Structure 1
Amino acid sequence: MKRTTRVKCAALAAVGTTLLAACGTESGTGHDTIVDGEKTTSTTGIADVEWVPQKVTVDGKEYVLPKNAEDAHIGFAPGTADPDVGGGDSGGSVGCNSIGADAEIDGDTVRITDLVQTLMGCPDPLGAFEAQFTSVFEGTHKAKVTERDGTRTLTLTSQEGDTITLREKAPPALKGTRWVIDTKAHLTLGKDDTVTGSLGCNTFRGEAVVKGGVIDFGRLATTRMTCGPAAMKTERELAGILSGKVSYQQKRDSLRLTAASGESVTARAE
Protein backbone atom coordinates (compact mmCIF):
# COMPACT_ATOMS: atom_id res chain seq x y z
CA MET A 1 0.00 0.00 0.00
CA LYS A 2 1.78 3.15 -1.19
CA ARG A 3 1.98 5.80 1.50
CA THR A 4 4.57 8.42 2.40
CA THR A 5 7.28 9.00 4.98
CA ARG A 6 9.06 12.26 5.73
CA VAL A 7 12.38 12.17 7.54
CA LYS A 8 13.82 15.23 9.32
CA CYS A 9 17.32 15.41 10.76
CA ALA A 10 17.66 17.89 13.64
CA ALA A 11 16.83 21.30 12.13
CA LEU A 12 17.38 20.10 8.58
CA ALA A 13 14.44 19.20 6.35
CA ALA A 14 16.06 16.14 4.80
CA VAL A 15 13.33 14.53 2.77
CA GLY A 16 13.86 11.73 0.25
CA THR A 17 16.24 8.82 -0.09
CA THR A 18 18.71 9.99 2.57
CA LEU A 19 17.80 8.12 5.76
CA LEU A 20 18.25 9.13 9.36
CA ALA A 21 21.51 7.20 9.42
CA ALA A 22 23.08 10.06 7.48
CA CYS A 23 22.20 12.57 10.20
CA GLY A 24 24.85 11.48 12.71
CA THR A 25 24.08 11.97 16.38
CA GLU A 26 22.14 15.21 16.07
CA SER A 27 18.79 13.45 16.37
CA GLY A 28 17.60 10.72 18.67
CA THR A 29 19.04 9.90 22.06
CA GLY A 30 22.52 11.22 21.26
CA HIS A 31 24.72 8.58 22.86
CA ASP A 32 24.35 4.96 23.95
CA THR A 33 23.70 3.89 27.54
CA ILE A 34 23.81 0.35 28.93
CA VAL A 35 21.63 -0.89 31.82
CA ASP A 36 21.48 -4.58 32.84
CA GLY A 37 22.90 -5.70 29.50
CA GLU A 38 20.37 -3.68 27.50
CA LYS A 39 21.75 -0.81 25.45
CA THR A 40 19.66 2.27 24.69
CA THR A 41 20.75 3.52 21.29
CA SER A 42 20.04 6.47 19.04
CA THR A 43 16.75 6.45 17.17
CA THR A 44 18.61 7.11 13.92
CA GLY A 45 18.11 4.39 11.35
CA ILE A 46 14.57 3.27 12.26
CA ALA A 47 13.44 4.13 8.74
CA ASP A 48 13.80 1.56 5.98
CA VAL A 49 13.93 -1.30 8.49
CA GLU A 50 11.37 -4.08 8.77
CA TRP A 51 9.95 -4.24 12.28
CA VAL A 52 7.78 -7.00 13.73
CA PRO A 53 5.11 -5.89 16.24
CA GLN A 54 5.50 -7.65 19.60
CA LYS A 55 2.93 -6.10 21.90
CA VAL A 56 0.63 -3.13 22.45
CA THR A 57 -0.15 -1.63 25.86
CA VAL A 58 -3.40 0.35 26.16
CA ASP A 59 -4.53 1.88 29.47
CA GLY A 60 -2.09 -0.42 31.23
CA LYS A 61 -3.44 -3.59 29.60
CA GLU A 62 -0.99 -5.57 27.45
CA TYR A 63 -1.94 -7.21 24.14
CA VAL A 64 0.65 -9.63 22.73
CA LEU A 65 0.98 -10.45 19.02
CA PRO A 66 -0.73 -13.85 18.46
CA LYS A 67 1.52 -16.72 17.46
CA ASN A 68 -0.35 -17.24 14.17
CA ALA A 69 0.52 -13.72 12.92
CA GLU A 70 3.41 -14.99 10.80
CA ASP A 71 3.24 -12.16 8.23
CA ALA A 72 3.27 -9.30 10.73
CA HIS A 73 5.61 -6.47 9.69
CA ILE A 74 5.76 -2.69 9.86
CA GLY A 75 8.11 -0.43 7.90
CA PHE A 76 8.87 3.27 7.73
CA ALA A 77 10.17 3.73 4.16
CA PRO A 78 11.51 6.98 2.70
CA GLY A 79 9.29 8.88 0.28
CA THR A 80 7.67 12.22 -0.39
CA ALA A 81 4.78 14.01 1.26
CA ASP A 82 3.29 14.83 -2.15
CA PRO A 83 0.80 12.07 -3.11
CA ASP A 84 0.89 13.21 -6.75
CA VAL A 85 4.58 12.30 -6.93
CA GLY A 86 4.31 9.01 -5.04
CA GLY A 87 5.71 7.94 -1.72
CA GLY A 88 7.20 5.16 0.33
CA ASP A 89 5.69 1.97 1.61
CA SER A 90 5.05 3.01 5.19
CA GLY A 91 2.89 0.62 7.17
CA GLY A 92 2.52 -3.11 6.64
CA SER A 93 0.37 -5.61 8.53
CA VAL A 94 -0.02 -7.15 11.95
CA GLY A 95 -1.02 -10.43 10.36
CA CYS A 96 -4.44 -9.77 8.86
CA ASN A 97 -5.30 -6.49 7.12
CA SER A 98 -2.86 -4.34 5.16
CA ILE A 99 -2.12 -1.01 6.84
CA GLY A 100 -0.86 2.18 5.22
CA ALA A 101 0.01 5.56 6.71
CA ASP A 102 1.97 8.77 6.30
CA ALA A 103 4.91 8.95 8.72
CA GLU A 104 7.24 11.75 9.74
CA ILE A 105 10.36 11.07 11.80
CA ASP A 106 11.88 14.09 13.55
CA GLY A 107 14.63 13.05 15.95
CA ASP A 108 12.96 10.80 18.52
CA THR A 109 9.45 11.92 17.51
CA VAL A 110 7.43 9.76 15.13
CA ARG A 111 4.15 11.12 13.75
CA ILE A 112 1.75 8.71 12.06
CA THR A 113 -1.14 10.27 10.13
CA ASP A 114 -3.70 9.41 7.44
CA LEU A 115 -3.90 5.75 8.46
CA VAL A 116 -5.89 3.48 6.15
CA GLN A 117 -6.35 -0.29 6.07
CA THR A 118 -8.18 -3.04 4.24
CA LEU A 119 -11.38 -4.31 5.82
CA MET A 120 -11.08 -8.08 6.11
CA GLY A 121 -12.64 -9.70 9.14
CA CYS A 122 -9.96 -10.99 11.51
CA PRO A 123 -10.79 -13.66 14.12
CA ASP A 124 -9.72 -13.04 17.70
CA PRO A 125 -7.20 -12.83 19.23
CA LEU A 126 -5.65 -11.42 16.04
CA GLY A 127 -8.60 -9.12 15.43
CA ALA A 128 -8.40 -7.71 18.94
CA PHE A 129 -4.66 -7.15 18.66
CA GLU A 130 -5.05 -5.38 15.29
CA ALA A 131 -7.77 -3.09 16.67
CA GLN A 132 -5.58 -2.05 19.59
CA PHE A 133 -2.51 -1.63 17.38
CA THR A 134 -4.22 0.68 14.87
CA SER A 135 -5.85 2.71 17.66
CA VAL A 136 -2.41 3.50 19.11
CA PHE A 137 -0.36 3.59 15.89
CA GLU A 138 -1.94 6.76 14.49
CA GLY A 139 -0.73 9.83 16.34
CA THR A 140 2.46 11.37 17.72
CA HIS A 141 4.92 9.12 19.53
CA LYS A 142 8.25 9.29 21.32
CA ALA A 143 10.56 6.62 19.95
CA LYS A 144 13.09 4.65 21.98
CA VAL A 145 15.45 2.05 20.55
CA THR A 146 17.15 -0.52 22.77
CA GLU A 147 19.50 -3.34 21.82
CA ARG A 148 20.17 -6.64 23.54
CA ASP A 149 22.33 -9.46 22.12
CA GLY A 150 22.45 -7.70 18.75
CA THR A 151 18.65 -7.42 18.41
CA ARG A 152 17.08 -3.96 18.33
CA THR A 153 13.68 -3.17 19.86
CA LEU A 154 11.66 -0.06 19.00
CA THR A 155 9.15 1.30 21.50
CA LEU A 156 6.66 3.97 20.42
CA THR A 157 4.95 5.80 23.27
CA SER A 158 1.86 7.86 22.46
CA GLN A 159 0.94 11.15 24.10
CA GLU A 160 -1.61 9.21 26.16
CA GLY A 161 1.10 6.89 27.49
CA ASP A 162 0.09 3.84 25.42
CA THR A 163 2.93 1.92 23.80
CA ILE A 164 3.72 -0.24 20.79
CA THR A 165 6.77 -2.49 20.99
CA LEU A 166 8.37 -3.75 17.77
CA ARG A 167 11.44 -5.89 17.16
CA GLU A 168 13.77 -5.51 14.20
CA LYS A 169 13.44 -8.37 11.76
CA ALA A 170 16.81 -9.81 10.83
CA PRO A 171 17.47 -9.84 7.06
CA PRO A 172 17.75 -13.27 5.44
CA ALA A 173 21.24 -14.75 5.29
CA LEU A 174 22.98 -14.35 1.94
CA LYS A 175 24.02 -18.00 2.01
CA GLY A 176 21.45 -20.73 2.41
CA THR A 177 18.52 -18.57 1.28
CA ARG A 178 16.64 -19.35 -1.93
CA TRP A 179 16.78 -16.15 -4.00
CA VAL A 180 13.96 -16.03 -6.56
CA ILE A 181 14.48 -14.04 -9.76
CA ASP A 182 11.13 -14.78 -11.41
CA THR A 183 8.53 -17.53 -11.32
CA LYS A 184 11.07 -20.17 -12.41
CA ALA A 185 14.59 -18.78 -12.11
CA HIS A 186 16.28 -18.88 -8.72
CA LEU A 187 19.63 -19.47 -7.03
CA THR A 188 20.95 -20.59 -3.65
CA LEU A 189 24.47 -19.84 -2.44
CA GLY A 190 25.87 -22.64 -0.30
CA LYS A 191 28.04 -22.25 2.77
CA ASP A 192 30.57 -24.51 1.03
CA ASP A 193 31.20 -21.91 -1.73
CA THR A 194 28.79 -23.53 -4.17
CA VAL A 195 25.73 -22.27 -6.00
CA THR A 196 22.70 -24.18 -7.27
CA GLY A 197 19.52 -23.06 -8.95
CA SER A 198 17.58 -22.71 -12.16
CA LEU A 199 17.98 -20.40 -15.14
CA GLY A 200 14.25 -20.68 -15.81
CA CYS A 201 14.41 -23.87 -17.84
CA ASN A 202 17.66 -25.64 -17.06
CA THR A 203 19.04 -26.21 -13.58
CA PHE A 204 22.65 -25.43 -12.73
CA ARG A 205 25.36 -25.87 -10.13
CA GLY A 206 28.85 -24.55 -9.76
CA GLU A 207 31.33 -22.72 -7.57
CA ALA A 208 30.59 -19.32 -6.06
CA VAL A 209 32.98 -17.63 -3.62
CA VAL A 210 31.67 -14.61 -1.67
CA LYS A 211 34.22 -12.02 -0.57
CA GLY A 212 34.13 -8.28 0.01
CA GLY A 213 30.84 -7.46 -1.72
CA VAL A 214 31.66 -9.67 -4.71
CA ILE A 215 30.52 -13.14 -5.72
CA ASP A 216 33.05 -14.91 -7.92
CA PHE A 217 31.11 -17.44 -10.01
CA GLY A 218 32.98 -20.34 -11.55
CA ARG A 219 31.78 -22.04 -14.69
CA LEU A 220 28.21 -23.28 -14.22
CA ALA A 221 27.30 -26.85 -15.11
CA THR A 222 23.74 -26.93 -16.48
CA THR A 223 21.25 -29.45 -17.75
CA ARG A 224 20.62 -29.32 -21.49
CA MET A 225 16.88 -29.11 -21.94
CA THR A 226 15.56 -27.13 -24.90
CA CYS A 227 12.87 -24.58 -24.17
CA GLY A 228 11.09 -21.92 -26.21
CA PRO A 229 13.07 -19.10 -27.88
CA ALA A 230 12.09 -16.50 -25.29
CA ALA A 231 13.01 -18.78 -22.38
CA MET A 232 16.35 -19.67 -23.93
CA LYS A 233 17.14 -15.99 -24.57
CA THR A 234 16.42 -15.21 -20.90
CA GLU A 235 18.59 -18.14 -19.83
CA ARG A 236 21.54 -16.91 -21.87
CA GLU A 237 21.21 -13.41 -20.42
CA LEU A 238 21.00 -14.72 -16.86
CA ALA A 239 23.91 -17.10 -17.37
CA GLY A 240 25.92 -14.16 -18.67
CA ILE A 241 25.28 -12.22 -15.46
CA LEU A 242 26.13 -15.21 -13.23
CA SER A 243 29.64 -15.43 -14.65
CA GLY A 244 32.94 -14.32 -13.15
CA LYS A 245 33.12 -11.57 -10.56
CA VAL A 246 29.69 -10.12 -9.82
CA SER A 247 29.04 -7.36 -7.30
CA TYR A 248 26.05 -7.73 -5.01
CA GLN A 249 23.94 -5.45 -2.83
CA GLN A 250 21.57 -6.97 -0.30
CA LYS A 251 18.82 -4.79 1.11
CA ARG A 252 16.63 -6.73 3.51
CA ASP A 253 15.01 -9.48 1.37
CA SER A 254 16.23 -8.05 -1.95
CA LEU A 255 19.48 -9.09 -3.65
CA ARG A 256 20.83 -7.21 -6.65
CA LEU A 257 23.55 -8.83 -8.75
CA THR A 258 25.52 -6.65 -11.16
CA ALA A 259 27.95 -8.09 -13.70
CA ALA A 260 31.10 -6.33 -14.91
CA SER A 261 29.17 -5.46 -18.09
CA GLY A 262 26.72 -3.41 -16.04
CA GLU A 263 23.85 -5.81 -16.61
CA SER A 264 22.01 -6.70 -13.44
CA VAL A 265 19.22 -8.79 -12.01
CA THR A 266 17.28 -8.51 -8.75
CA ALA A 267 16.13 -11.49 -6.70
CA ARG A 268 13.87 -11.78 -3.67
CA ALA A 269 14.33 -14.04 -0.67
CA GLU A 270 11.78 -16.82 -0.54
Structure 2
Amino acid sequence: MLTLRTSRTRTRALIGTAVLPLAALATVTACGDEKAGSTSVGGAPITGVHWTVQSVTVDGKATKAPGSAYLEFVSDERVRGNYGCNHFDAAARVTGDSVDLGKSKRTMMLCEDKGVRAFEDTLSRALADKNTVKRADGRNDRLTLTRANGDTVTLAEQRDAALAGTKWNVTSLSSEDTTRSLPKAAQGRAGLVFGKDGHVSARLGCNQGRAKATVKDGHITFGPLTSTRMGCIGAAGEVEKAMLDVLKNKAAYEIQGKGLTLTKPDGSGIGLTAADSTPGR
Protein backbone atom coordinates (compact mmCIF):
# COMPACT_ATOMS: atom_id res chain seq x y z
CA MET A 1 0.00 0.00 0.00
CA LEU A 2 1.37 3.40 -0.94
CA THR A 3 1.75 5.88 1.88
CA LEU A 4 2.31 9.61 1.75
CA ARG A 5 4.63 11.09 4.37
CA THR A 6 5.34 14.68 5.25
CA SER A 7 9.06 15.37 4.98
CA ARG A 8 11.21 18.30 6.06
CA THR A 9 12.68 18.24 2.57
CA ARG A 10 9.91 19.70 0.41
CA THR A 11 9.55 18.88 -3.29
CA ARG A 12 9.18 22.23 -5.06
CA ALA A 13 9.07 21.20 -8.70
CA LEU A 14 6.84 18.72 -10.43
CA ILE A 15 9.90 17.11 -11.97
CA GLY A 16 10.28 13.88 -10.04
CA THR A 17 6.72 13.90 -8.77
CA ALA A 18 5.49 10.33 -8.59
CA VAL A 19 2.96 9.20 -11.16
CA LEU A 20 0.65 6.25 -10.90
CA PRO A 21 -2.57 4.80 -12.34
CA LEU A 22 -5.91 6.04 -11.02
CA ALA A 23 -6.58 2.69 -9.36
CA ALA A 24 -3.36 3.00 -7.36
CA LEU A 25 -4.18 6.57 -6.35
CA ALA A 26 -7.56 5.35 -5.13
CA THR A 27 -5.65 2.97 -2.85
CA VAL A 28 -3.67 5.89 -1.45
CA THR A 29 -6.89 7.80 -0.82
CA ALA A 30 -8.52 4.84 0.88
CA CYS A 31 -5.54 4.46 3.19
CA GLY A 32 -5.96 7.86 4.79
CA ASP A 33 -9.16 9.85 4.93
CA GLU A 34 -8.01 11.26 8.22
CA LYS A 35 -9.21 14.71 9.19
CA ALA A 36 -6.67 15.63 11.84
CA GLY A 37 -8.28 18.75 13.25
CA SER A 38 -10.04 21.49 11.35
CA THR A 39 -7.85 24.22 9.88
CA SER A 40 -9.66 27.56 9.66
CA VAL A 41 -9.21 30.74 7.64
CA GLY A 42 -11.10 33.85 8.70
CA GLY A 43 -12.86 31.90 11.44
CA ALA A 44 -14.40 29.28 9.09
CA PRO A 45 -12.98 25.78 8.40
CA ILE A 46 -11.38 24.92 5.05
CA THR A 47 -10.74 21.21 5.76
CA GLY A 48 -13.37 18.68 4.75
CA VAL A 49 -14.71 21.05 2.07
CA HIS A 50 -14.78 20.45 -1.68
CA TRP A 51 -13.16 23.51 -3.25
CA THR A 52 -13.80 23.84 -6.98
CA VAL A 53 -11.03 25.65 -8.86
CA GLN A 54 -12.60 28.65 -10.57
CA SER A 55 -9.55 30.13 -12.28
CA VAL A 56 -5.79 30.57 -12.17
CA THR A 57 -4.21 33.98 -12.78
CA VAL A 58 -0.59 33.97 -13.98
CA ASP A 59 1.25 37.16 -14.97
CA GLY A 60 -2.06 39.03 -14.75
CA LYS A 61 -3.86 36.70 -17.16
CA ALA A 62 -6.79 34.69 -15.76
CA THR A 63 -7.61 31.24 -17.18
CA LYS A 64 -10.97 29.63 -16.41
CA ALA A 65 -10.71 26.14 -14.94
CA PRO A 66 -12.22 22.95 -16.34
CA GLY A 67 -15.21 21.87 -14.27
CA SER A 68 -13.30 18.86 -12.94
CA ALA A 69 -10.49 20.82 -11.23
CA TYR A 70 -10.76 20.91 -7.44
CA LEU A 71 -8.87 20.85 -4.13
CA GLU A 72 -9.72 19.21 -0.83
CA PHE A 73 -7.79 19.98 2.35
CA VAL A 74 -8.10 16.54 3.92
CA SER A 75 -6.13 17.59 7.00
CA ASP A 76 -3.38 20.02 7.93
CA GLU A 77 -0.90 17.52 6.49
CA ARG A 78 -2.64 16.39 3.31
CA VAL A 79 -4.27 17.90 0.20
CA ARG A 80 -5.79 16.03 -2.71
CA GLY A 81 -7.63 17.07 -5.83
CA ASN A 82 -7.73 17.17 -9.61
CA TYR A 83 -5.65 19.40 -11.88
CA GLY A 84 -8.35 19.29 -14.59
CA CYS A 85 -7.78 15.77 -15.86
CA ASN A 86 -5.30 14.07 -13.55
CA HIS A 87 -5.85 13.46 -9.84
CA PHE A 88 -3.22 14.13 -7.21
CA ASP A 89 -2.69 13.38 -3.53
CA ALA A 90 0.01 15.35 -1.72
CA ALA A 91 1.67 15.69 1.64
CA ALA A 92 1.21 19.28 2.80
CA ARG A 93 1.65 21.83 5.54
CA VAL A 94 -1.63 23.70 5.95
CA THR A 95 -1.95 26.54 8.48
CA GLY A 96 -4.49 29.28 9.01
CA ASP A 97 -2.83 31.51 6.42
CA SER A 98 -0.82 29.30 4.07
CA VAL A 99 -0.65 25.98 2.24
CA ASP A 100 2.64 24.36 1.26
CA LEU A 101 2.41 21.19 -0.84
CA GLY A 102 5.19 18.63 -0.59
CA LYS A 103 5.85 15.42 -2.47
CA SER A 104 2.75 14.22 -4.30
CA LYS A 105 1.30 11.20 -6.04
CA ARG A 106 -0.56 11.89 -9.29
CA THR A 107 -2.23 9.90 -12.00
CA MET A 108 -0.73 9.77 -15.47
CA MET A 109 -3.78 10.11 -17.69
CA LEU A 110 -3.24 11.24 -21.26
CA CYS A 111 -5.55 14.25 -21.53
CA GLU A 112 -6.47 14.75 -25.19
CA ASP A 113 -7.97 18.22 -24.75
CA LYS A 114 -5.09 20.69 -25.33
CA GLY A 115 -6.77 23.40 -23.30
CA VAL A 116 -7.13 21.09 -20.30
CA ARG A 117 -3.50 19.96 -20.62
CA ALA A 118 -2.33 23.58 -20.62
CA PHE A 119 -4.47 24.37 -17.57
CA GLU A 120 -3.09 21.34 -15.73
CA ASP A 121 0.45 22.61 -16.26
CA THR A 122 -0.50 26.08 -15.03
CA LEU A 123 -2.33 24.87 -11.92
CA SER A 124 0.28 22.27 -10.95
CA ARG A 125 3.04 24.90 -11.17
CA ALA A 126 1.02 27.32 -9.05
CA LEU A 127 0.46 24.67 -6.38
CA ALA A 128 4.10 23.54 -6.37
CA ASP A 129 5.00 26.63 -4.33
CA LYS A 130 3.94 27.98 -0.96
CA ASN A 131 0.65 29.89 -1.21
CA THR A 132 -0.96 32.42 1.11
CA VAL A 133 -4.59 31.48 1.84
CA LYS A 134 -7.25 34.19 2.19
CA ARG A 135 -11.01 34.48 2.13
CA ALA A 136 -12.04 36.22 -1.08
CA ASP A 137 -14.17 39.33 -0.61
CA GLY A 138 -14.78 38.32 3.01
CA ARG A 139 -16.91 35.35 1.90
CA ASN A 140 -16.67 31.99 3.68
CA ASP A 141 -17.38 30.11 0.43
CA ARG A 142 -14.49 31.67 -1.55
CA LEU A 143 -10.73 31.27 -1.16
CA THR A 144 -7.66 32.58 -2.94
CA LEU A 145 -4.23 30.94 -2.93
CA THR A 146 -1.51 33.45 -3.80
CA ARG A 147 2.15 32.76 -4.55
CA ALA A 148 4.92 35.18 -3.63
CA ASN A 149 5.08 36.32 -7.28
CA GLY A 150 1.37 37.25 -7.27
CA ASP A 151 0.00 34.26 -9.22
CA THR A 152 -3.42 33.39 -7.81
CA VAL A 153 -5.70 30.34 -7.68
CA THR A 154 -9.36 31.16 -7.00
CA LEU A 155 -11.49 28.52 -5.25
CA ALA A 156 -15.21 28.25 -4.51
CA GLU A 157 -16.89 25.93 -2.02
CA GLN A 158 -18.98 23.35 -3.82
CA ARG A 159 -21.33 20.89 -2.19
CA ASP A 160 -21.49 17.46 -3.78
CA ALA A 161 -24.48 16.90 -6.03
CA ALA A 162 -26.88 14.13 -5.03
CA LEU A 163 -26.53 10.89 -6.98
CA ALA A 164 -30.29 10.28 -7.14
CA GLY A 165 -32.53 12.79 -8.87
CA THR A 166 -29.70 14.66 -10.62
CA LYS A 167 -29.57 14.73 -14.40
CA TRP A 168 -26.03 13.61 -15.19
CA ASN A 169 -24.65 14.36 -18.67
CA VAL A 170 -21.75 12.27 -19.96
CA THR A 171 -18.84 14.63 -20.66
CA SER A 172 -15.78 12.38 -20.95
CA LEU A 173 -14.61 8.85 -21.69
CA SER A 174 -11.58 7.23 -20.09
CA SER A 175 -9.42 4.15 -20.30
CA GLU A 176 -6.80 3.17 -17.72
CA ASP A 177 -4.36 5.83 -18.93
CA THR A 178 -6.35 8.17 -21.21
CA THR A 179 -9.25 10.54 -20.76
CA ARG A 180 -10.91 12.67 -23.42
CA SER A 181 -13.93 14.86 -23.92
CA LEU A 182 -16.89 13.58 -25.88
CA PRO A 183 -16.75 14.15 -29.64
CA LYS A 184 -18.78 17.24 -30.56
CA ALA A 185 -21.26 15.14 -32.51
CA ALA A 186 -22.12 13.18 -29.35
CA GLN A 187 -22.19 15.99 -26.79
CA GLY A 188 -25.51 16.31 -24.97
CA ARG A 189 -26.77 12.95 -26.26
CA ALA A 190 -25.78 10.69 -23.38
CA GLY A 191 -26.60 10.79 -19.69
CA LEU A 192 -27.99 9.07 -16.62
CA VAL A 193 -30.69 9.78 -14.02
CA PHE A 194 -30.69 7.64 -10.89
CA GLY A 195 -34.17 7.32 -9.43
CA LYS A 196 -35.02 6.92 -5.76
CA ASP A 197 -36.80 3.70 -6.76
CA GLY A 198 -33.44 1.94 -7.27
CA HIS A 199 -33.38 2.22 -11.06
CA VAL A 200 -31.37 4.27 -13.52
CA SER A 201 -32.68 5.78 -16.76
CA ALA A 202 -30.07 6.11 -19.47
CA ARG A 203 -29.62 8.12 -22.63
CA LEU A 204 -26.98 6.02 -24.33
CA GLY A 205 -26.10 8.13 -27.37
CA CYS A 206 -28.81 6.89 -29.71
CA ASN A 207 -30.93 4.57 -27.60
CA GLN A 208 -32.82 4.93 -24.34
CA GLY A 209 -32.57 2.35 -21.55
CA ARG A 210 -33.46 1.49 -17.98
CA ALA A 211 -31.88 -0.86 -15.43
CA LYS A 212 -31.87 -1.64 -11.74
CA ALA A 213 -29.05 0.14 -9.89
CA THR A 214 -27.95 -0.97 -6.42
CA VAL A 215 -25.67 1.47 -4.59
CA LYS A 216 -23.41 0.07 -1.87
CA ASP A 217 -19.91 0.71 -0.48
CA GLY A 218 -18.83 3.15 -3.17
CA HIS A 219 -20.02 0.93 -6.02
CA ILE A 220 -23.10 0.69 -8.21
CA THR A 221 -24.23 -2.74 -9.38
CA PHE A 222 -26.36 -2.56 -12.51
CA GLY A 223 -28.99 -5.12 -13.42
CA PRO A 224 -29.91 -6.18 -16.98
CA LEU A 225 -30.53 -3.17 -19.21
CA THR A 226 -33.71 -2.95 -21.25
CA SER A 227 -33.40 -0.48 -24.11
CA THR A 228 -34.53 0.53 -27.55
CA ARG A 229 -32.59 -1.07 -30.41
CA MET A 230 -31.79 1.66 -32.91
CA GLY A 231 -28.64 1.29 -34.97
CA CYS A 232 -25.95 3.64 -33.66
CA ILE A 233 -22.75 4.50 -35.53
CA GLY A 234 -20.13 7.23 -35.52
CA ALA A 235 -19.39 9.37 -32.47
CA ALA A 236 -22.73 8.60 -30.80
CA GLY A 237 -22.11 4.89 -31.34
CA GLU A 238 -18.71 5.14 -29.69
CA VAL A 239 -20.21 6.82 -26.63
CA GLU A 240 -23.03 4.30 -26.50
CA LYS A 241 -20.57 1.40 -26.51
CA ALA A 242 -18.61 2.96 -23.63
CA MET A 243 -21.79 3.46 -21.62
CA LEU A 244 -23.01 -0.08 -22.24
CA ASP A 245 -19.64 -1.42 -21.05
CA VAL A 246 -19.97 0.53 -17.79
CA LEU A 247 -23.62 -0.46 -17.28
CA LYS A 248 -22.99 -4.18 -17.74
CA ASN A 249 -22.41 -5.08 -14.12
CA LYS A 250 -20.53 -3.21 -11.37
CA ALA A 251 -18.67 0.11 -11.33
CA ALA A 252 -17.00 2.21 -8.67
CA TYR A 253 -18.50 5.68 -8.37
CA GLU A 254 -17.29 8.97 -6.94
CA ILE A 255 -18.99 12.36 -6.71
CA GLN A 256 -16.84 15.47 -6.39
CA GLY A 257 -18.90 18.64 -6.48
CA LYS A 258 -20.83 18.61 -9.75
CA GLY A 259 -18.80 15.74 -11.21
CA LEU A 260 -19.52 12.00 -11.18
CA THR A 261 -17.16 9.25 -12.33
CA LEU A 262 -18.12 5.63 -12.99
CA THR A 263 -15.08 3.36 -13.26
CA LYS A 264 -14.87 -0.31 -14.22
CA PRO A 265 -12.36 -2.67 -12.57
CA ASP A 266 -10.08 -2.37 -15.62
CA GLY A 267 -9.81 1.42 -15.12
CA SER A 268 -12.01 2.47 -18.03
CA GLY A 269 -15.17 4.45 -17.46
CA ILE A 270 -17.16 7.61 -18.05
CA GLY A 271 -17.19 11.08 -16.53
CA LEU A 272 -20.47 12.92 -16.01
CA THR A 273 -21.43 16.44 -14.97
CA ALA A 274 -24.62 17.61 -13.28
CA ALA A 275 -26.86 19.23 -15.89
CA ASP A 276 -26.99 22.60 -14.12
CA SER A 277 -23.18 22.84 -14.19
CA THR A 278 -21.21 23.59 -17.34
CA PRO A 279 -17.55 22.58 -17.24
CA GLY A 280 -15.19 25.47 -17.84
CA ARG A 281 -12.96 25.57 -20.89
Which band: TM-score by shorter chain?
A: 0.3 to 0.5
TM-score by length of 2: 0.46
| Structure showing greater relative contact order (alpha-carbon pairs closer than 8 Å, 6 or more residues apart) | 2
Higher Rg of the two aligned structures: 1
